[in-house]
Chains A and B, each alone.
Chain A
Amino acid sequence: MNLRQTLALLCVAASLLLAPGCAKKSNEPVVGVYLALTGKQADFGITTRQGVELAAEEINSRQGINGKKLKFVFEDDRGDPAEARTAVSKLIDQEGAVAILGDVASKNSIAAGQVCQQREIPMISPSSTNPRVTQDRPYVFRVCFIDPFQGYVMAKFAADNLKVHTAAVLWDNSQDYSVGLAKVFLQEFPKMGGKIVAQVNYQSDDQDFSSQLTKIRAANPDVIYVPGYYSEVALIARKARELGIKVPLLGGDGWTSPTLVQRSGGALYGSYMSDHYSAESEKPAVKQFVEAFKAKFHTEPNSLAALGYDATWILADAMKRAGDFKPKDIRDQIAATRDYPGVTGNITINSQRNAVKSAVVLKIGKDRPEYFTTIDPPK
């Protein structure tokens, strides 16, 4: 063994010894955040991170929690469920995270939630709406409503507000989120007197939607429900107009992206989406949040940013009530959250670890979605 090899070996050995040591040395409690910061869902992750960062700054500038500042560590899962699992494992093992925040797309949250449940580290998803995210996982929570409600909102909106009779549904068969919303809409809309005239699906990586839309066009629906994610929805909308389909498209919070209108090139003008909040709200909490957000990021916060902000504050609030940073105690206090005044509404965590809130419907305007109406949960 020559000198260079010996040195190299020593370096490897040293890094192996030091790596776990470093993580444990920090005495700031670590909150791990995993989000899709690159890839096709990057708009989701980036806006959510801004919300988390704003809340983190506020928390730490007010003496932190229980006399300690929180350390937020961000990991990119590239919008991939397998990467999300790796990211969360890394946050727990190497960073020593006592709580986890993330992700937006349900598929990633379902995968990573399993890891959090196994390791008994509490996780809050800011905006994953598929029911399976929190199902049978006592350590996994969310601060948003769930798909059965979101699907109900659009079915009710179509039947009661738009007063349409027929609808086509076009969903992304490779995303749990999209399948979940489509299923609920397909159940609820006929109950409200509507008729489903076409059911078509696509896959996330598809680049061409002309054959799906041709099928839908032949069925002549009054509206098309497209509960997909923004990048495909933009292409679908363009293609629909190209094929001469003029009816409005309806969608869910998967449409939330600062680039939606630009990507769709005006093709979504006059369409509607359900969402968690509107930045136009007159509530003082919302106004304060919007101002602080604009001052920091020079852009208007969308619902994902607002939910990232709420999720972070709810976690901090639970830590404060727990009085320590033991994952088990934090979990119990998140579960005990009642009537927390968040910017996306009053948040109460129910026994299924979901938040029960009303939804807003936004209408896509010339350059951004605008507030249209609010729909409350069924009594």
Chain B
Amino acid sequence: MQEFLQQLINGVVWGSAYALIALGYTMVYGILRLINFAHGDVYMMGAYVAYFIGLALGASATHTLMGGALILAGAMAGSAVLGFCIERFIYRPLSSAPRLTLLIAAIGVSLFLEYFAQLQFGSEPRLFPQFLRQETVFQMGRVTLSNQQALVVIVSILLGLGLQYIVHLTSIGRAMRAVSFDREAAALMGISVNTVVSFTFVLGSALAAAAAVLISLNNPQILPFMGIQPGLKAFVAAVLGGIGNVWGAIAGGLLMGIAETMVVGYGQSSWRDGIVFAILIVVLLVKPTGLFGSPVTDRA
């Protein structure tokens, strides 16, 4: 039982990060009907931005909470700028091209970012700044939760709530929902579609960077190719939950994280990806729009 609870904690921590990345996929899909394959690499760049901020702050500053907040905010801002540029200079000029062109461009951006990072930062794993010294904050029998793990979950919840607030209670959020619902009609109603699309990329990229900082704090090694696996898994999570749906992305991310942990914990690490994708296939067979997916409601 204790082992199961611990595995559940591990799964929720990892799943929260998936959820944060999946949100970016799902929002961009909701607005543009584009699967942004470069999203995992925006996540990776977020980790590197955080790394260099940590380096600039110096070892002593990175051990403070203030340093941590600075690193997190800086990484989110850096990735947001990157996401903005990718949309503005690559996807937008292609917006009237066939959808396939956009998809290929996304794969191109993804490869570009990966190899740019390898060239620029080197391919050896870098040690991520430890701005929060690891401590156990909760212990019950042998079930433990460290402050770093707790931080992943807490920050994820806060960012999730923040996103809900933006999407449902602000005018830009209303515009996002309108564009997602019917792009042409929204444009006719005077909504600046371009601004909405830019904003969506900024938001999604910032969330990916937050996930990168939280995960790298927990597993402090960063690599140019670190975005591929989480990116793919988060994409699956978004599809699983119903792509285009915010709650679906969160649920899908958590489900993926828990499923992966349980497969490794009670099975074999080699089965992990197989079983996770089997779940995806079964869900899509039974409910082709994903768990929460429906063609009209609550798209953002």
Q: Which residues of A contact B (CB under 8 A)?
A: 38-40, 42-43, 78, 173, 200-203, 205-212, 214-215, 217-218, 231, 234-235, 238-239, 242-244, 262-263, 265
Contacts and interface: CB of A to CB of B under 8 A. Distances in A.
A38 B124 contact: yes
A82 to B, nearest CB: 15
B136 A208 contact: no
A205 B229 contact: yes
Contact of A173 (B124, B146, B260, B270): B270
A3 B148 CA distance: 65
A210 B218 CA distance: 10
B6 interface: yes
B219 A235 contact: yes
Contacts of B123: 38-40, 42, 78
A230 to B, nearest CB: 9
A202 B273 CA distance: 12
A215 B124 contact: no
Contact of A234 (B221, B226, B264, B269): B221
Nearest to A173: B270
Contacts, number: 99
A214 B265 contact: yes
B94 to A, nearest CB: 30
B220 interface: yes
B130 interface: yes
A31 to B, nearest CB: 25
A217 B122 contact: no
A40 B10 contact: no
B269 A238 contact: no
A231 B221 contact: yes
B219 A214 contact: no
Given A215-B3, A239-B219, A200 B142 contact: no
B269 A202 contact: yes
Nearest to A234: B221
Interface of B: 2-3, 6-7, 10-11, 13-14, 118, 122-125, 127, 130, 134, 136, 142, 144, 146, 148, 215, 218-221, 223, 225-226, 229-230, 260-262, 264-266, 268-270, 272
Contact of A210 (B10, B136, B142, B221): B10
Contacts of B221: 207, 231, 234-235, 263
Q: Would you call the interface of chain B mostly helix, strand, loop, or mixed?
A: helix
Contacts of A212: 264-265, 269
B127 A203 contact: no
Contacts of B118: 38
Given A42-B123, A42-B124, A218-B3, A244 B269 contact: no
Query: 8 tightest CB-CB pairs across the interface, nearest first?
Result: A210-B10, A218-B3, A211-B264, A211-B261, A211-B265, A38-B123, A42-B124, A214-B6
A352 to B, nearest CB: 30
Nearest to A230: B125
Contacts of B260: 211
A320 B164 CA distance: 75
A262 B127 contact: yes
Given A205-B229, A239-B219, A263-B127, A214 B269 contact: no
A39 B119 CA distance: 11
A231 B125 contact: yes
B215 A207 contact: yes
Given A208-B14, A238-B220, A244-B142, A200 B269 contact: yes
B268 A201 contact: yes
A41 B130 CA distance: 23
Given A208-B218, A211-B265, A215-B3, A203 B270 contact: yes
